[in-house]
Amino acid sequence: MKFFVFSWPKMQNQFDYKGYIIYNLHVFISKTLTYSLLFLLITSSVVAQEQNPNKPNSKGNNMKKKIFVFLFDGFSDWEISYLTPEINKSEQFDLVYFSKHGNSVSSMGGLQVKPILSLSEINIDDIDMLILPGGTAWEKGENNEITKLTQAVFEKGKPIAAICAATTYLGQLGLLDNLKHTSNDVNYLKAVAPEYRGADNYQNVLAVTDRNIITANGIAPIEFSREIFRTIGLYNDIELEKWFQLFKNGIWSE
């Protein structure tokens, strides 16, 4: 136990010791209450953050843009394998993986992945980009549970990136009808997505961005990544070209 000793000034004249003691006690109690309150505020903030690590805080995650990646059984893991490491190591972005129910999924390559969120836990306002990897599930008419989310992201003008079979899903929703886009082939889009009406805007390229939609051929995960990096501003033009030449052509430049 600590004892507080007050200094008694040596004064020849009469001194109000009672008033002096009351004043010091008042200062002591005020400081104690202030420090206690600050301690409680800091402690409660830390506890709240630990209980909900995905909730933004004033100096951390709220400054990062969130890139949402939809995962499902049989998703084409290699189609997002170039872009996810680059985004994940950046301090500007958070990768948020989600599935229908938040349960573990198995990629086409047998990779077991436990997503961070379920579809029902997503707040549309948290999404800064939505990425849809390919997989045969799209060709089977599956994954329709994300239709409401996808349409909402599109209507808000936020970027949506789809590769390979996932482009047929956007075509089926009519999101490709009035903008430039690509896929594995225009006839592939017509066959898999009966509601597709965007053939006049089809681009015979590996990847393309028009407004808030990024699409790519299934054989172009590197070009797909480049379009995403350019859209979110991950790298400047020089850095982006160096990255592309390294992974596409094996050319390293200082």
Work out the angle between the directed axes of helices 237-249 and 221-232 (0-180°, nearest 10). 170
- Residue by residue, what is the 3-state secondary structure of 51-101? HCCCCCCCCCHHHCEEEEEECCCCCCHHHHCCHHHHHHCCCCEEEEEEECC
Tokens of residue 66, six digits: 């969130």
Distance from CA of residue 136 to its chain's centroid?
Answer: 25
More confident residue, 3 or 67: 67
Cβ-in-10-Å burial (0-12, 13-18, 19+) of 125 comes to exposed
Range of the domain at 136: 66-249
- Classify residue 43: in a domain, yes or no: no
Is residue 100 in some structural domain? Answer: yes
| Cross-sheet strand order for the sheet of 93-99 | 117-118, 93-99, 65-70, 129-132, 160-163, 213-216, 207-210
- Whether the predicted pLDDT of 100 surpasses 70: yes
State yes or no: is 239 an active-site residue. Answer: no
Residue 125 belongs to a domain: yes
Average pLDDT, the chain: 85
Count structural domains, the chain: 1
Domain presence at residue 186? yes
Kindly report the CATH number assigned to the domain that includes residue 113: 3.40.50.880
Alpha-carbon span 112 to 104, nearest angstrom: 7
Give the pair of three-digit tokens for residue 61.
């995650």
Strands 65-70 and 207-210: unpaired
Q: Is 56 inside any structural domain?
A: no
Give the active site residue among 83, 161, 162, 164.
164
For residues 81-103, give the mean pLDDT: 97
Please report whether residue 227 resides in a domain.
Answer: yes
The string of pLDDT tens digits covering residues 140-150 is: 999 999 999 99
pTM for the full predicted model: 0.77
Instruction: Give the count of beta carbons closer than 10 Å to the beta carbon of residue 30.
Output: 10
Would 89 be classed as within a structural domain? yes
Residue 146 lies in a domain: yes
